[in-house]
Structure 1
Amino acid sequence: MKFEYENSFEVKHKIQERKIAILPIGAIEAHGPHLPLSTDNILAERLSEKLAEKVHAFVLPTLPYGQVWSLRDFPGSINISNESLISVLVDIGTSLYKQGFRIWAIVNGHLGNQPALKDAARVLYDQFQDFKVFYFFYPGMNAILKDVRETQSVHSTYFHACEIETSIMLYLAEEHTNMDKAICDIPDIPESADFTPTPWQKFTNTAVLGDAILATKEKGEKIVETAIEKMAAMLRSAKDEIA
């Protein structure tokens, strides 16, 4: 159920009944020639909608901008700072708490947002210890990748516009995926990139980190459905604790 379409006369009772708010958050950034700039937003929204059905929750309007420092100089990318993102998230969380929500699930479509999400959740924890905040980014993915990936990962953490993310898009938003333009770009990411600020144009001019041509809807389904079940289980447990 989408929160933005509720009205002020009826929403208070529904908040008390549901208790869970889900916020999709993504980014606007380069995703190669075959995926749109809003890929992370689309994925966060579709994941949130699926999750909401499982746990009877409200889905908040998407927060569409994220910390995309690494890709900020690629055409189309829009970057906001960690500090700005933390501030906005704390303000939103505070408002949700005052409205009566006691569980807030932030469903993240962009890995670069995770540090800010974690810091914002810690601030809210210190302020409202009966407010449970989750910051989800495809839980359970690592185990599934061992089964579905056909190519070796170019990085221990990153996946971007590649076999994996494109597969997720094919499953959740095939209408926004142009496989005729999918490419294989396997960059050599230096080890130093994990230890010093390194804009991605230092090692790629496409923003694709792998072989997007190998993407399939079936791979995406395994990743997504695993994440949905894990997120739903954690939210149900949290809801049971406050019941």
Structure 2
Amino acid sequence: MLYFAELTSPQVAALLAGPRRPVLLLPVGAIEPHGPHAPLGTDPLISAGVCERVAQRLKDHPTLRALVLPPLPYGVTRYAGAFPGAVHVSEETLYAIVTDVCTSLINQGFVDIIVVNNHFEPEHVATLRRATNAVNVGYLDLVRRKNAARLTEEFQTGSCHAGQYETSLVLADRPDLVDQDQMAALAPVTVDMPAAMAAGRTDFVAMGMPDAYCGSPAAATAEEGRRTFDTLTDMVLELMA
């Protein structure tokens, strides 16, 4: 069993008393537009996919057991506000729910928790850093330079919202959610998102993303997505060491 919410209460008690150290994984993302081809839930889908792979790899581990918590799909997402489907919560709301959930679990004895996030709006990332520091839990921080350097070339360019990087990950896990005809017809859009943000552009349209994507979605493949999932899984496992 990989999912915390599928356990019974006695099974949770047995987990805490057992010989294997439990590690709980909290997938986080945001519901927001990802071009005309990829689902609104791309970010939490990727986070959940990473967590599931970590739990699967540790399924038979002699001393560790990982379980996936119910995903937190809502995040700080103002930049996509010009497009239908963006669901924004404030920094205060995100901070409160992450710290409250983690504190509730820590008080029961689950002291090993890792937040796995794949939504990179700066205010969202800053809030997760603040929240995970406050409750002293792990955080997969992919925009840190040492982590970004292990990911794909497109990710490192910063031109990667609903492009080749993210679309490949969705193709690896839920190809049925990608409109592949639309994907194949999309021309590359090059936008240095970090530079645009630094210049004060705080929405996708102002950044030069009229269709809510940048990068090269037409170049996405499930094989690239599987390789990236392997790398992301390795990163989470390293946080457990």
TM bracket (short chain): 0.7 to 0.9
Q: Which runs of 5+ in 1 are unaligned?
A: 126-131, 238-243
The 8 Å contact of residues 141 and 227 in structure 1, kept in 2 or not, is answered as: no
Match of 2:62 in 1: none
For residues 172-187 of structure 1, what are the structure 2 equivalents within 5 Å? Answer: 172-182=173-183, 183-187=186-190
Residue 185 to residue 98, structure 1, CA distance change in 2 (3 Å): same
1:196 correspondence with 2:196: no
Q: Distance in 2 between matches of 1:46 and 1:93?
A: 20
Deviation at 1:53, TM superposition (A): 1.8
Measured against aligned partners, the alpha-carbon deviations of 1:15-55 in whole angstroms (never above 9, x if no partner) come to 34442110111111001111111111211111111111223
1:122 correspondence with 2:133: yes
Q: Distance in 2 between matches of 1:141 and 1:188?
A: 17
Instruction: State the secondary structure of the residue aligned to 2:126.
Output: helix
> Which of these residues, 2, 22, 25, is aligned with residue 22 of structure 1?
25
Match of 1:170 in 2: 171
> Which of these residues, 211, 228, 231, is aligned with residue 226 of structure 1?
231
TM-score, length-scaled by structure 2: 0.84
Q: Which runs of 5+ in 2 are unaligned?
A: 59-64
Instruction: State the secondary structure of the residue aligned to 1:225.
Output: helix
Q: Distance in 1 between matches of 2:107 and 2:201?
A: 38
User: Structure 1 vs Structure 2: percent identity of aligned residues?
Assistant: 27
Residue 72 to residue 10, structure 1, CA distance change in 2 (3 Å): same
Aligned residues: 224
CA root-mean-square deviation = 2.2
**More moved, 30-39 vs 171-180:** 171-180
Measured against aligned partners, the alpha-carbon deviations of 1:67-110 in whole angstroms (never above 9, x if no partner) come to 11111231110111112101111101100101111111111121
The 8 Å contact of residues 159 and 190 in structure 2, kept in 1 or not, is answered as: no
> Which of these residues, 41, 45, 50, is aligned with residue 44 of structure 2?
41
Deviation at 1:140, TM superposition (A): 4.2
Residue type matched to 1:30 in 2? Answer: P
